[in-house]
Every structure is written in C-alpha cells, then in structure tokens.
Amino acid sequence: MNEQARSVLTAVLEEGAWSVRQWPGDAAAQTVRSALGHVADLGDPVQGIAYTTSGALLVREAAPELTTRLEGQDRPIALDSVYELRLWAVIGGTAPNGLLAHELRWLNGSGTTEIRIGNREALPADGAEGWQTTSCWTRSNSYLQHRATPPFDDPSKVMTSVEVFAREPAYGNTVFVDEIMTGEWNFNG
C-alpha cells in the first residue's frame, strides 16, 4: 500500500462544529443572481462549480458574474442555464479564525444556504442570526484534479475538501453528512 492510500485509511476524525443557515425569504423565488449577492460573505479568494444545462463548469470568479475557463480563456457562465451553484472560500488547512470550510450553496427552487465548518469558537452560536450549529467530526480530504500529470504530489494538482460526519441519533452510528470543497482549481491543466 502506498503512503497516500495509507494516509486516507488512517485519517483521524477531528472534533468540530457544523453551522448551516438558510437565507430568509421565499426559497422558490430566489435566483442564482440573488445568491451571488452573498458572495462577499465568503471572503476572497472564492472558487466553485456551477451545474448547468450544458454540464458542470468550474467557477473561476463569482463576482459580479460567474466566470469559467474554457479552451484557455475566461468566459461568462449564462446564469439562466445554472440550476445548482456551489461557491466556497479557498482555505488552505485551517484559517486563523478556526474556520475549516465555508460554502454558499444555491439550488433552483430550494434557495440559498450558507455552510461553515470549524471549531466551535469559530462558528456562530446555535440560533444566532438564523444559524443552526451542531457538533460534528471532520476529516481533511483531497482529490486529484482532471488532467493532472505526474508527479501527483504537487499541491496545485489536487482539490482539497473537508468531510463532515455526525452522530446518527437513533443508533449512535457515525454517518457522512456533507463535504465542502476548500481548494483552488488548477487552470493550467
């Protein structure tokens, strides 16, 4: 077994907290444009993925419009083609404020949700400003990006993420809950 496989299999779950807030208002009436109005809450830099009627597109920039890179050039993403949008703060490891991951998620017909993962002190109190904060366990993860070539240990060739696990209340099992991307797209691939 290689060292990378061993590190995945032996990764320890870390204690943390998971905060979720649904943006107020009529969720069905919220548009991708209204979700983009909250991008500044993520800080800078922001990366993401837009699921469109033409396929999934990486998001290079999110304000004031969504921009992707196709054939080596930055191009706008047609907002009327987007049915799901996931934008995240690029965080390498743990931010100085204890935040591990921060994502803005919009789904057509379901509205906009903001998600934060970190240590309990880094997150809003449960119930504060609409936040629902619960204890969880986290694990760092990474994926090889498309078109990556050897050597694969170059950090620019992977997309990092934080996996979230929670205790299932009925039987006490640990279950996978969510995964928030935290890395930056490699635009040279």
Q: What are phi and psi of 53, to 5 degrees?
A: -65, -10
- The CA distance from 153 to 188, in Å, is 16
Query: What's the confidence (pLDDT) of residue 73?
Result: 87
Concatenated DSSP letters of 129-160: GG-EEEEEEEEEEEEEPTT--S-TT-GGGEEE
* pLDDT confidence of residue 97: 83
User: Residue holding tokens 């998971």?
Assistant: 18
The tens digit of pLDDT for each residue in 119-132 reads 988 888 888 888 99
pLDDT of residue 10: 66
* pLDDT for res 6: 60
**Given this model, what pLDDT does residue 108 score?**
92
Question: What residue spans define the domains of the chain?
Answer: 3-181
Using left for φ > 0, alpha for ψ between -120 and 50, and beta otherwise, residue 3 falls in: alpha
pLDDT beneath 50: ranges in the chain: 188-189
